[in-house]
Amino acid sequence: TVAAVVGAEALRTAARRAAAAAGGSEGDHNAMRVRHRGRAPDYRQRYGLTAPVDVYPLYENATRAAWGQSLAEAQAETGAMWAAMSRVAADNPQAWLRTERAAEEIIQPSADNRPIAFPYTKLMVANSSVNQGAGFIVTSLAEARARGVPANQLVYVGHGAAAHESDDVLGRETYAASAGMRTSLEGALTANGLGIGDIDLVELYSCFPCVPKMALRIIGWPEDRPVSVVGGLTFGGGPIGNYMSHAVAAMVVRLRSGDGHNGLLFGNGGFATHNHSIVVSRAPLSAARFPHDFDQQKRADAARGPAPAVNERYAGAGTIESYTVLYARTGAASAGVVVARNPAGERFLATVAAEDTATIQFLSDGRVEPVGTSGVATRRSDDGLLTWTPTVA
């Protein structure tokens, strides 16, 4: 049996055609936002949590607080990681953006690097405006040999592991960790009888910085080593449904060239929802015997605690669990979004108007860690949304 796994995205062309037909910019026709148009917004969407770029910052800000980092420290970590990926992309002829970027260029907002959703700038997020395709072939060892594939070009498929978070973003236990991610990554290593010291190359999905930052802490991957063989979803390119095909192809090339013996591939999808990991190697992995069940969902479910109830009717005092600030294409803040807990432990949402510059600054200037601080949510008379007012300054 020979299986060809092939995928491609042409979202850049699609957005350009839509803009030409309907007017506006290509960004106005972003695939991750336009798919929600025409539908009645649900609770989180009414507060601005619509696309992945709105939601992943909840994990970024929650993990920063949980890890005890200052904003400057967390941004410096992101800058160093993304700068390293830009160097990988610069050496990858298949990458979409092949210009090396310095860490400061990446983390500092500018005319060419506008803020998107705090604390992310344009150069920190997946670049889905690409036309890219990739493919690879999977077959048996006997078939590969029969077709004349040289022994020094063979790459063996090990075991994989998959686990997921709730599809309901507000129905999750925490934004400071992911049991699904941990179970997937640890499960793949365990199933192949490997430790992180046995891994030479990794592809840790990089749609947004919180994902590889969480992943490398789970597996113990050194911060000074590259987390991508492609160049990441910003610089390598971010074809929404097919990036990991590029990662597989790039990993095979790197292993064949002698850059390593074992490679770990980790993909994340949805709204920090789906987690898949697999190991590939230059030699058969003795522990990787088939058949193998990659579904690790029961383990992930057993590892996580209960999710808090969501109370859409609540108004009153609360504590910030996580948050973000959303920005217009001009670079000006358009609104803040707060995920909070009330005294009963229930989760609720609140907004911060762009005109409330003091609160926007409180959420984004890094002088105080907003996560864990108190505030009061009051209901607006015009649209019924809650407005957040901090009780600390």
Q: Which token pair is 325?
A: 């600030």
The predicted structure's pLDDT at residue 393: 56
Q: What is the DSSP string of 80-130?
A: HHHHHHHHHHHT-TT-S------HHHHHS-BTTB-EEETTEEGGGS-----
pLDDT at residue 37 tops 60:
no
- Contact status, residue 285 vs residue 193, Cβ threshold 8 Å: yes
- Contact status, residue 32 vs residue 116, Cβ threshold 8 Å: no
Residue 221 CA from chain centroid, whole number: 17
Q: If pLDDT is split at 50, 70 and 90, which confidence band does 15 have?
A: confident
Q: Is the dihedral of CA 106, 111, 116, 122 positive or negative?
A: negative
Please give the domain boundaries of the chain with CATH numbers for all domains.
1-307 (3.40.47.10), 316-390 (2.40.50.840)
Which residues fall within 8 angstroms of residue 239, CB to CB, at 6 or more apart?
Answer: 7, 8, 9, 11, 128, 130, 132, 133, 246
pTM above 0.85, yes or no: yes
CB-CB neighbours of 31 under 10 Å: 16
- Contact status, residue 185 vs residue 203, Cβ threshold 8 Å: no
- Contact status, residue 43 vs residue 312, Cβ threshold 8 Å: yes
d(C-alpha 378, C-alpha 116), whole Å: 26
Give the pLDDT confidence of 168-204 residue by residue, as tens digits: 999 999 999 999 999 999 999 999 999 999 999 999 9
Give the pLDDT confidence of 275-333 residue by residue, as tens digits: 999 999 999 999 998 889 999 999 999 999 999 999 999 999 999 999 999 999 999 99
